[in-house]
Amino acid sequence: MTPIVGRLDLLRRTLDKASKEKIEWSLDQIDWLISRFVKRATTLLDVSRLTSGVEVSIAKVPVEVCELVRLISENFRPLALHARSDLKIKIPQDALTVMADSLALEQIIDNLVSNAIKYAGGKPILIKASADTGKGVAHIAVSDDGPGISPDNVERIFQRFERAVKPGEHSGGFGVGLWIVKQLCEAMDGTIEIKSTPGAGSTFCITLPLAGSKEPE
């Protein structure tokens, strides 16, 4: 709730001097922050269901990836700029449609981009989407040039309540984000993998079935 309160306070203090465009931009940012807060609450509900052994319902429908990546990048760009990171996207010109749950996929990419901004240390971040029509899958990758993750942490990073932080280092959150990401990917017949080199950054890559591809047996 702190970012929402902060935005409202800033808007209140600058209301008399701000232009109509600036006010509308601030309201859009507040609206986005509220939607993110709702998504966080949804994620905690997902955690509760998954930890209780209850299967999370995933409705797989055609989802246009490029449009979603554009939206997420625009929403995250102010946060990236605040963290002094340059957030870029690389997507195909043609439509790229996967079979997925739109909200679940948005939560997944949100989580990966949020983590990249948190750990990139002001270095560039790239969201890349591509299709492998031969295999009937799409790849969505989030890369950063941050400190990277040690091999030991890579092995455990998708486990529940684990985070890739150094001993004694504090990072906000419950350590369930990447575990939830993995569960949601698998519920949509997808996978997630990480490639990371200490000192050279990390890449998290999601693989999902393309719309129209053969369902896995």
Q: pLDDT tens digits, residue range 23-68?
A: 887 777 777 777 767 766 766 666 566 666 666 667 789 999 999 9
64 strand-pairing partners: 97
How many CB atoms sit inside 10 A of residue 79's CB? 17
Q: Is 148:165 a contact under the CB 8 Å cutoff?
A: no
Q: Which residue reads 């195909």 in tokens? A: 92
Output helix, strand, coil percentages for the chain, rounded to the nearest 5.
Answer: 45, 20, 35
Phi and psi at residue 193, to the nearest 5°: -135, 160
70 & 32 share domain: no
How many CB atoms sit inside 10 A of residue 81's CB? 12
117 & 155 share domain: yes
- Is 195 contained in some domain? yes
Tally the domains of the chain: 2
- Is 215 contained in some domain? no
122: left (phi over 0), alpha (psi -120 to 50) or beta: left
Residue 173 confidence (pLDDT) above 70: no
CATH number, domain of 112, equals 3.30.565.10
Confidence of residue 83 (pLDDT cuts 50, 70, 90): confident
For 42-100, the DSSP string reads HHHHHHHHHHTTPPPP---EEEEHHHHHHHHHHHHHHHHHHTT--EEEE--SS--EEEE
40 & 90 share domain: no
- Is 104 contained in some domain? yes
35 & 120 share domain: no
107 & 173 share domain: yes
Confidence of residue 130 (pLDDT cuts 50, 70, 90): very high
Task: Give pLDDT tens digits for 65-80.
Answer: 999 999 889 888 888 8
98 & 173 share domain: yes
Residue 195 confidence (pLDDT) above 70: yes
Q: How far apart are CA 184 and CA 207, in angstroms?
A: 12
Confidence of residue 172 (pLDDT cuts 50, 70, 90): very low
Local structure of residue 215 (DSSP, 8 states): P
Single pTM value for the model: 0.74
45 & 149 share domain: no
- Is 174 contained in some domain? yes
76 & 6 share domain: no
Q: What average pLDDT does this structure show over 127-136?
A: 96
159 & 79 share domain: yes
- Is 45 contained in some domain? yes
- Is 217 contained in some domain? no
Residue 167 confidence (pLDDT) above 70: no
Give residue 13's domain range. Answer: 2-51
33 & 68 share domain: no
- Is 56 contained in some domain? no
- Is 214 contained in some domain? no
